């Protein structure tokens, strides 16, 4: 949440900042702003998207080669010009951009107000700017860097900040605690950003800052220390990202591009992990911890949103095939509900971004209690990936659309491989079943491709329902999480109220919603729940609900009852979630498009939720 970019070097900073902000816009798009150091610190900021900032600065002085920028997702204070970042300290000595939340800001603000400092905004960030300035004015503080470090020792909360000081305009100071910051290393220049997307165009040499790090950057030098003023450990790494990954290509939206990438992202995710010659699954990242995993009393899987839905699929798989008890928890609940965890538990944290604050905090809590912590993340080097004992990356590539699509299928791919491998290791499935599962997984990309080819039909159906006010999504077994995911996709990008339900639960309440205006999306496959689902749908039919059914080619029950059909190829039920979710992603996409919604940047949302 919130995107930060910074540059110090010889280049024209304005274009680096604006391009960077456009790439980071998926992290927040309430307002945007920049500060350029050029005979003083010039700040320009505007409510709305980066394009509005661009129009606003068109007539302004934007020369300079040092600067910082920010795109905001509002936490403290409504999204308006005043609350937009960068924020300037009372006497104009410091300008800073911030991602995160200063939890003790009210207390600090009161204290600073009593000391005579004046505030103009509702933000926690302005408090930090004034706090730095307050220490800068103290006799024992001899530099901007020291003022930043001292101020940060008084702060409770999460931050990624980049600071410019009027008196030291050739310097950029950055600090991280809980909110990511990446330093890009060029020739006589440095870049700073919340993720690598603004940097990749200029250099592939980066440092992921650690919590507690402070970086002091000048054109030709970099000093990394801790807030306590000792030397910091860091590692220069090579980016595994290309500029092409960040383009929409020929697609109208990132979300559509990402949906269509799934045949590739699923196979990229299992490539190198399935050995078809040896009929085996090898998860390299778990090699050293399999003994602990196979000996586990139970597996707890945590995540948020779509990642939580992927976790639910895993619960069905692991319990059915590996016979290990699994609990799936919302990270935001798990971290606060004093759960009983200890040695012998395995906690798996699932996160596309690897930065979700609740998931990160929940895993840290479980780690302290002695559980083995595994991670399934998409973003390499992300905070969650770095906190875990072991893990497996999904190889979905950069996901920019706020609605998660390819990340979900990549997560389910990893979790399915994990479940099959665990079942095999624990001798709960025989070699023949193991090999059948591997074959089924290898067949998924082509099957997804064939579903994607059917997109015109899905678009046609979407047109029929684009004016709906509510929608119900039903599924059972492996396809219950898919119903939840389908409903989440629809509500987050089209703003239609949609609920996902276990089909068997419908008669306990949601059936009251059914009338001839309600679209009811039923997700089915040829599995052991099929007949039960058919009976549940009879109940919808009897009440004149509009049935949109995801069915397999072999279906000969639901298709008779449905008003509209999305047909998918047959598969083993254990991998059916990877297929059934695809028409639902496209359905949500087309409906949002027809309703004129901002598909890639839906209102109130941000891609990476780094606040709780
Ligand atoms: O990056 P994460 O997977 O941890 O993100 C979790 C959720 O914020 C995310 O899945 C969110 O629900 C998406 N917008 C869903 O499309």
The answer to whether the beta carbons of residues 402 and 492 sit under 8 Å apart is yes
Residue 461 has pLDDT above 90, yes or no: yes
Alpha-carbon distance of 81 to 358, in angstroms, equals 29
Rounded to the nearest angstrom, the distance between the alpha carbon of 55 and the centre of ligand 1 is 32
Q: Is 483 inside any structural domain?
A: yes
Same domain as 274, residue 417: yes
150 CA → ligand 1 middle, Å: 35
Ligand 1 atom nearest residue 303's Cα: 4
pLDDT at residue 363 in the model: 95
Same domain, 329 and 468: no
Look at residue 430 in the predicted model and tell me its pLDDT.
96
Mean local confidence (pLDDT), 576-581:
98
Which of these three, 200, 229, 244, is where a domain ends? Answer: 244
The pTM of this model reads 0.90
Please tell me if the CB atom of residue 353 comes closer than 6 angstroms to any atom of ligand 1.
yes
For 502, other C-beta atoms within 10 Å of its C-beta total 18
DSSP symbol at 40: S
- Note whether residue 68 is domain-resident: yes
The domain total for the chain is: 3
Distance CA 251, CA 350 (A): 28
Percent of the chain residues topping a pLDDT of 70: 100
Residue 247's pLDDT is 87
Q: In whole angstroms, give the CA distance from residue 14 to residue 57.
A: 10
462 confidence band (pLDDT: 50, 70, 90):
very high
Q: Assess whether 121 and 75 both reside in one domain.
A: yes
User: What pLDDT does 26 receive?
Assistant: 85
Identify whether residues 174 and 50 lie together within a single domain: yes
Closest Cα to atom 11, ligand 1: which residue? 305
- Count of CB atoms within 10 A of residue 288's CB? 10
Give, in degrees to the nearest 5, the angle at Cα 315 between 288 and 410: 70
| Torsion over CA: 285, 289, 291, 294 (sign) | negative
Binned at pLDDT 50, 70 and 90, residue 402 comes out as very high
- Residue 604 pLDDT > 90, yes or no? no
- 265 and 131 inside one domain: no
How far is C-alpha 54 from the geometric centre of its chain's CA atoms? 27
**Contacts for 260 with CB less than 8 Å, ≥ 6 apart:** 251, 452
Give the pLDDT score at 119. Answer: 95
Per residue in 159-174, pLDDT (tens digit) is 999 999 999 999 999 9
**Res 202: pLDDT:** 97
pLDDT over 80 at 515, yes or no:
yes
Q: What's the angle, vertex CA 356, arms to CA 354 and CA 358, rounded to 5?
A: 130
Secondary structure of 270-318 in the HEC alphabet? Answer: HECCEECCCCEECCHHHHHHHHHHHCCCEEEEEECHHHHHHHHHHHHHH
Query: Do 524 and 551 form a contact (C-beta atoms < 8 A)?
Result: yes
Q: Residues 311-334: what's their mean pLDDT?
A: 97
Looking at residue 242, its pLDDT comes to 81
pLDDT band of 27, cuts 50, 70, 90: confident
In this structure, are 302 and 346 located in the same domain? yes
Q: Are 411 and 475 within one domain?
A: no
Name the average pLDDT for the chain.
94
Q: Which of 415, 430, 451 is the last residue of a domain?
A: 451
The pLDDT confidence band at residue 612, using thresholds 50, 70 and 90, is confident
Interval 216-249: pLDDT, tens? 999 999 999 999 999 999 999 999 888 878 889 9
Among 210, 244, 278, identify where a domain stops: 244
Domain identity same for 109 and 253: no
Dihedral angle at the C-alpha atoms of 599, 602, 606, 612, nearest 10 degrees? -140
Q: 332 pLDDT band (50/70/90 cuts)? A: very high
Q: Which atom of ligand 1 is nearest to the CA of 404?
A: 16
* Domain span including residue 576: 454-600
- Considering only CA atoms, which of 50, 57, 61, 53 is closest in space to residue 21? 50
Q: How far is the CA of 408 from the centre of ligand 1 (A)?
A: 9
Asked if the structure places residue 70 within a domain, the reply is yes
Cβ(502)–Cβ(536) below 8 Å: no
- Name the token pair of 484: 């939840």
67 lines ligand 1 (CB under 6 A): no
Amino acid 138: pLDDT: 95
Does residue 325 carry a pLDDT above 90?
yes
- Model pLDDT for residues 139-158, shown as the tens digit of each residue: 999 999 999 999 999 999 98
Residues 176 and 233 in one domain: yes
Contact 404, 255 (CB under 8 A): no
Closest atom of ligand 1 to 489 CA is 16
Asked whether residue 160 falls in the same domain as residue 67, the answer is yes
Q: Provide the residue count of the chain.
A: 612
What is the mean predicted confidence (pLDDT) over 557-580? 95
2 is catalytic: yes
What's the whole-number mean pLDDT along residues 506-519? Answer: 90
Could you identify the residue written with the tokens 């008196």? 167
Name the band, by pLDDT with cuts 50, 70 and 90, for residue 74: confident
The angle at the Cα of 335, spanning 128 to 607, to the nearest 5 degrees, equals 60
Residue 394: CB within 6 Å of ligand 1?
A: no
Asked, for residue 609, whether it belongs to a domain, the answer is no
| Better pLDDT: 507 or 302 | 302
Q: Over 80: is that where the pLDDT of 135 sits? A: yes
């Amino acid at each position: 949440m919130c995107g930060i970019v910074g540059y110090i070097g010889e280049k024209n900073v304005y274009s680096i900042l604006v391009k960077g902000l456009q790439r980071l816009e998926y992290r927040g798009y309430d307002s945007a702003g920049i500060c350029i150091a050029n005979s003083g610190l010039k700040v320009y900021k505007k409510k709305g998207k980066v394009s509005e900032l661009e129009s606003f600065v068109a007539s302004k002085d934007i020369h300079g080669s040092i600067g910082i920028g920010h795109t905001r997702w509002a936490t403290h204070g409504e999204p308006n010009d005043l609350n937009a970042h960068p924020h300037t300290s009372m006497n104009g000595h410091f300008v800073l951009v911030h991602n995160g939340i200063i939890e003790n800001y009210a207390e600090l603000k009161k204290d600073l107000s009593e000391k005579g400092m004046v505030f103009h905004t509702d933000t926690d960030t302005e408090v930090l700017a004034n706090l730095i300035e307050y220490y800068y004015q103290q006799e024992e503080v001899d530099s901007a860097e020291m003022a930043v470090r001292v101020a940060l020792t008084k702060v409770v909360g999460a931050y990624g900040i980049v600071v410019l000081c009027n008196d030291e305009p050739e310097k950029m100071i950055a600090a991280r605690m809980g909110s990511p910051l990446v330093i890009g290393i060029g020739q006589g220049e440095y870049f700073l950003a919340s993720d690598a997307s603004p940097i990749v165009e200029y250099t592939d040499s980066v440092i992921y800052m650690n919590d507690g790090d402070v970086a002091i950057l000048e054109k030709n030098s970099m000093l990394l220390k801790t807030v306590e003023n000792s030397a910091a450990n860091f590692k220069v790494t090579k980016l595994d990202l290309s500029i092409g990954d960040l383009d929409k290509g020929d697609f109208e939206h990132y979300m559509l591009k990402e949906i269509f990438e799934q045949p590739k992202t699923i196979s990229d995710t299992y490539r190198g992990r399935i050995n078809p010659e040896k009929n085996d699954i090898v998860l390299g990242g778990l090699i050293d911890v399999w003994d602990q995993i196979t000996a586990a009393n139970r597996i707890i899987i945590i995540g948020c949103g779509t990642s939580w839905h992927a976790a639910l699929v895993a619960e069905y798989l692991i319990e059915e095939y590996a016979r290990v008890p699994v609990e799936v928890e919302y990270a935001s609940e798990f971290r606060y509900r004093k759960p009983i965890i200890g040695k012998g538990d395995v906690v798996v944290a699932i996160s596309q971004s690897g930065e979700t604050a609740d998931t990160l905090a929940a895993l840290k809590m479980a780690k302290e209690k002695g559980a083995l912590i595994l991670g399934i993340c998409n973003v390499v080097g992300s905070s969650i990936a770095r906190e875990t004992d072991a893990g497996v990356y999904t190889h979905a590539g950069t996901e920019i659309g706020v609605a998660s699509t390819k990340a979900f299928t990549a997560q389910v791919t990893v979790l399915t491989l994990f479940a099959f491998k665990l079942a095999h290791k624990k001798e709960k499935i025989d070699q023949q079943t193991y090999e059948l599962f591997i074959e089924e997984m290898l067949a998924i990309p082509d099957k997804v491709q064939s579903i994607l080819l059917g997109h015109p039909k899905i678009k046609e159906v979407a047109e029929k329902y684009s004016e709906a006010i509510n929608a119900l999504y039903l599924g059972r077994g492996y396809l219950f999480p898919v119903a939840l995911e389908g409903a989440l996709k629809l509500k987050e990008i089209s703003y239609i109220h949609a609920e996902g339900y276990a089909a068997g639960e419908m008669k306990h309440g949601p059936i009251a919603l059914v009338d001839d205006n309600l679209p009811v999306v039923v997700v089915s496959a040829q599995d052991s729940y099929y007949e039960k689902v058919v009976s549940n749908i009879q109940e919808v039919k009897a009440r004149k609900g509009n049935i949109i059914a995801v069915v397999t080619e072999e279906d000969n029950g639901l298709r008779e009852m449905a008003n509209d059909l999305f047909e998918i190829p047959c598969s083993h039920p254990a991998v059916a979630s990877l297929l059934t979710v695809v028409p639902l992603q496209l359905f949500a996409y087309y409906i949002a498009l027809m309703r004129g919604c901002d598909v890639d940047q839906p209102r109130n949302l941000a891609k990476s939720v780094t606040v709780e």
